[in-house]
A and B are shown apart, each in its own frame.
Chain A
Amino acid sequence: MSLEIELILLMPVAGALASLLSPGRIAALATSAASALALLFAAAACAGPLLDGPAIEYGPWYADGLSAVFLLLTCIVCLASSVYSYGYISEDRREGAVGHRDERRYYVMLNLFSAAMMAVCVVGSMGIMWIAIEVTTLISAFLVGFYKREADVEASWKYLMICSVGITLGLMGIVLMYASSAHILGESPDALEWPVLYGAAAGLDPTLMKMAFAFVIIGFGTKMGLVPMHTWLPDAHSQSPTPVSAMLSAALLNCALYAILRFLMITEIAVPGFASTILICFGALSLAAAGAFILISRDFKRMLAYSSIEHMGIIAIGFGIGSPLAVFGALIHVMAHSLTKPLMFFSAGNVIQGYGTRNMDEIRGLRKSMPFTAFMAAAGAAALGGMPPFSVFVGEATVIWGAVDSGMHALAAAMAVLLVLVFAGLTRSVLGMMRGDPGREVREPGGASRASAMAALLAATLALGLFMPDWLGDALRSIAEWFSGGAR
């Protein structure tokens, strides 16, 4: 029996144990080492399913190409956040914002959070996937409220309550799906395994499946940040420590998206056209509402949080359209967003620690006071706004192209207009901080750990846009073909 999946998940768990037993500085190193090893093992395990090999399937685990993409992204984001945390949390300690015990607790939670998110991507049973997603909420609530100031307590309570309600409704969806399979699969313990359900999808009861997907999209959509269930998201993203914001935005939302995609694939076979229409509607609504908030938001991290909602909207539209081209674009967009958003959050973290405020009107003269961060923030804003040649542009353009290709011209036009607006809002706010005079002595938070994490992410998002390797393109194309109904 192989142990490749266990090995991946064991790394963050070991990291959590090591952090529990060692002092702060070493806990930070152990966390980075654990997530680096997890990425390494994940890459080794995923090479097979990603490169058109067979899916990994043993015990409770199941990983095909789609899982591989999400698992690798989760590992990359966790690694970047762990490395960045090293500099960020030690700066907090120097300033006295966190104590010795808090620091250790932070790394323990960070590791457990990573482990839970990785588990979501590789389990086969939809029930266990639900459990893993609920565990991510419970653990990350502590990370969101890490600083324990009033606003943090409020954000974490809101996060805990809204996401718990959402996930409870999501469980109702899973139960309904289980019931819809009862007449073909019986009461077998395998009836919640995704491959089994996917194989039997054509025979599922359509009435129950429709109801199931409605519950699932409300439930997991809450966690994914789809408007109008997104209200926890700007608060949680803006109040949590910056490395955690990056993980919430770039990895946690993906986990919920991943669960929805698994349901989408089954529902599309059982009731063609139903689930995809719902997903497109929620996606368009999210894109429009988040776009408006990006324009008016004055809080740096809240603006980035709304940008996450916007990108989730684009991704939902891409998967909702469901043609191979649109799904291909959506997959690129998932990757591009996960690589770019942490870069932006990390820049915001540097700025906020340096200036001591999140209000973008009070932040001036970034170019003079923090040249490196200013460069990264400008590049990150351009990338996130969808400027070529960054990968976000490739994703957005492909999704719009997919919409045109499927005859949804109005949707494509609306998306294009909204994306231009978002680009304008994002760059205006970020570039506005560059000019002028800082007004006081502001020091650039130094440290190789932050700089290396940010530089690596910038290089990755640029490289994905400019020279996507053939093997990756082929892998994504084959997932997209399979997703839209073709044979793998």
Chain B
Amino acid sequence: MDPALAGNLIDLCAVAMLLLSMLAMTTTRMGQLLNAFAAQSLFLAALAFVVGDVTGHSRIWTIGAITLAVKVVLIPRFLKYTSDRIHVGRDIDSTMGIPGSLLISAVLIIVAYIVAEPLVATLETITRNCLAMSMSVILIGLFMMVTRRKAMTEAIGLLMMENGLFLGVMSLSYGMPLVVELGIFFDVLMAAVIIGIFAQRISKTFDSIDTSVLRRLRE
């Protein structure tokens, strides 16, 4: 593949991932949120395929394929199944309004660019521009976990953080040793399953998946 084209494709995928994070901040419906997560994972897989093609590392292809299987298919399906079972309502569940959340997301993106700036200079990968985007996705995911009140939306915030992390892995070093990556994928999958189990347990115990009912334990 032509390196200039590859560079453009990589930037496109990274920008799309960031935009999907912003989209997730604006939506309050579970189905849309899951679709945003699945689409974001799809762009992550696409980015891995482009990087694999340019650098010729076969293990990056493997990583892309596993991303496709685990994060685009398995995890969204499982979470869809879980959210259907526990009837996640469509009401707004954020402690902060949508305009406010977007404004703060914009601030987080600026912070991410400032933090990433000195690091990008030390890198030689073709994906190095993605580092700031990766940090933005991580920070927005974290922000989502903090402001959302439903167990399932908190979980998706965490998964989006992990997507940002994998983007970071790509941009820093074309991915880690394969054994480690496989282990991490396995962990992410297990985490999603266990989070689903606990979300069901919350809905069973409290008759609600609004985590603001979880306020008993304090001094």
Residues of A within 8 A of B191 (CB): 134, 138, 164
Cβ A160 vs Cβ B178 within 8 A: no
B92 in contact (CB, < 8 A): no
Contact-residue bracket for chain B: 35 or more
Residues of B within 8 A of A353 (CB): none
A131 in contact (CB, < 8 A): yes
A376 CA / B145 CA spacing, docked (Å): 43
Cβ B177 vs Cβ A172 within 8 A: no
A297 in contact (CB, < 8 A): yes
Given the known inter-chain contacts A138-B194, A165-B142, please indicate yes or no for A127 contacting B180, CB distance below 8 A. Answer: yes
B161 in contact (CB, < 8 A): yes
Nearest Cβ in chain B — how far from A350, in angstroms?
23
Cβ A145 vs Cβ B201 within 8 A: yes
Query: Which residue of chain B lies nearest to A135 when distances are taken between CB atoms in the complex?
Result: B187
Cβ B122 vs Cβ A205 within 8 A: yes
Nearest Cβ in chain B — how far from A168, in angstroms?
5
Residues of A within 8 A of B169 (CB): 175
Nearest Cβ in chain B — how far from A165, in angstroms?
6
A361 CA / B118 CA spacing, docked (Å): 55
Query: Which residue of chain B lies nearest to A154 when distances are taken between CB atoms in the complex?
Result: B214
Against B, the Cβ 8 Å flags (1 = close, 0 = not) of A302-319 are 100000000000000000
Query: Which residue of chain A lies nearest to B146 when distances are taken between CB atoms in the complex?
Result: A165
Interface residue stretch chosen among A2-10, A78-86, A186-194, A436-444: A186-194
A178 in contact (CB, < 8 A): yes
A142, A158, A171, A176 pick with most chain B CB within 10 angstroms? A171
A278 in contact (CB, < 8 A): no
Cβ A207 vs Cβ B173 within 8 A: no
Cβ A153 vs Cβ B201 within 8 A: yes
In chain B, residues 104-118, which have Cβ atoms closer than 8 Å to a Cβ of chain A?
115, 118
Residue from B151, B172, B180 within 8 A of A157 (CB atoms)? B151
Residue from B123, B154, B165 within 8 A of A171 (CB atoms)? B165
B169, B174, B180, B190 pick with most chain A CB within 10 angstroms? B180
A436 CA / B169 CA spacing, docked (Å): 61
Query: Which residue of chain A lies nearest to B175 when distances are taken between CB atoms in the complex?
Result: A187
Cβ A192 vs Cβ B177 within 8 A: yes
Given the known inter-chain contacts A172-B138, A192-B177, please indicate yes or no for A148 contacting B205, CB distance below 8 A. Answer: yes
A36 CA / B211 CA spacing, docked (Å): 41
A47 in contact (CB, < 8 A): no
B162 in contact (CB, < 8 A): yes
Nearest Cβ in chain A — how far from B108, in angstroms?
15
Nearest Cβ in chain A — how far from B40, in angstroms?
15
A68 CA / B178 CA spacing, docked (Å): 28
Residues of A within 8 A of B57 (CB): 187
Cβ A157 vs Cβ B187 within 8 A: no
Residues of A within 8 A of B161 (CB): 165, 168
Nearest Cβ in chain A — how far from B50, in angstroms?
18
Would you give 23 A-B contacts (Cβ < 8 Å), ordered by A?
Answer: A127-B184, A150-B205, A151-B216, A153-B198, A153-B205, A153-B206, A156-B198, A157-B202, A160-B194, A168-B138, A168-B162, A171-B165, A172-B168, A175-B169, A175-B173, A176-B172, A178-B176, A182-B173, A187-B57, A187-B173, A189-B178, A189-B179, A192-B176
* 8 further A-B pairs in the complex, CB-CB below 8 A; given A148-B205, A171-B165: A153-B214, A164-B191, A168-B165, A178-B173, A179-B173, A182-B124, A208-B119, A296-B219
